[in-house]
Structure 1
Amino acid sequence: MRVTKANVTRVCAVCERTLLMGEQTLRYSPDGHEFVDVCTLCSEIALDSGWVREGHAVSPALQQHPRRRRQKTLWQALLGARDEEAEPVVSEPILRRLSDDELTLVEAADLFNQSDFRRTVAGVAKSLGEPKVSIVPLAGVNAETVLTFAWDITWYQYRVTPDAAQPVRIADRGHDLDEVEPAYAQWNARFDETGRLVPELATV
């Protein structure tokens, strides 16, 4: 009987590129517990993001188990960022009363507020005013959520994947509000005066 090796597809946890067979990779831990493959081209990005290379000491800041809705990004925690910079959009007592669908909106908003893209939207808002905002969860196993920020002359769209190495990434942008698909034009959130994305929740 002929025995063949099973093909195992590996991807870089940073750039999400499919790795070639035999390609050299490095192992890093984003959270101090599990290790992931990182291609050599993305090694510096992993280090800059505070990931720990396999075989090196893990910082105490990484050894704490992350909560489902993280108060800070890993990089912010390592730099000692103040809590108010990533203040959650909903307080703990209210969280207990939310449905699963509402929790999805809150988690997506918290992750966006912890990302650098928050500054991008805040900068545009200073010039063009408060945007229309929607948070739309996608069906499927990846638990992705689409965030849309729209003004009369421009719009930005982001995708949030909580379990990804980079949970928030830009997905699309344009100049005409009519370009935004109707499914993503459900204006169910706001970008408040403090520069935070806040979902509109019936429970709150």
Structure 2
Amino acid sequence: MTTKKELRPTHDLIVCDICARSILKGERTETFLAPGGVRKVVCELCTARATHEGWIRESAHGDLPASRGPERERRSFLGRLRSRREPEPFEEAPASAYQLETEDGQEMEGGEVPRLEDEDGVSPAPRSRPQDPRHVRAIPTNAEVKIERSLGIFNDSEHTKTVAGIARTLGTPWVSALPNSIEPSHVDVIVAWELSWYRWRVDLGDSAHPIELVGQGEELSDLEVEQVGWNGVSAPDGTLALVVISEP
């Protein structure tokens, strides 16, 4: 009769308390202390997770300070980390805690600003902020002088290139320059051909942006009679001059 041999493990079965895996023969383990002082067996692969959970190596337990209370030991690693990051509330001192001292030694409560006085004991008037500078020119009152000055401003601008370019195709234009009946500082300059016309407005009181294109069209009939005077002439380079010519 054959006798069956019973195989028995030569070492006790040990399970990792983190991954629940059986510890192999010869595999090293470490003992950790969980909150409450409970001993836990951890394999080499799970030591980082045990530390993350706030478990303490039993071998390092003797190095911990004795003043550490049981309530602090039971706190997890994340709880201790949050407590370190929470800032303490800032308590602002009341305004009465601040004082100012004047030249004569008088103390003033916080928020009160001493007034400066001159030698006569009179407080100086508050200084007003300077207004934004404006580019302003003197505006002549004579109509002919207004027209001559407006044509000079036009001739110094880039709009002369527009007149010269169209004139090479449509020929010499008619020119009208008349003071505006509503705005004394404005002069309306009209340059017209049979198939096209342009109207610029020159502001004699503005040196920054004195010229503005305010209208253009294709039919001379679009222009009102009181808006034109045909009192100017154009040169081949697009510059304008005041003369008296016959109406178109």
Q: Give me the TM-score of the superposition, normalised by structure 2.
A: 0.41
When Rg is computed on C-alpha atoms for both structures, the one with the higher figure is 2
Q: Give me the TM-score of the superposition, normalised by structure 1.
A: 0.49
Which of the pair has the greater relative contact order for Cα pairs under 8 Å at 6+ separation?
A: 1
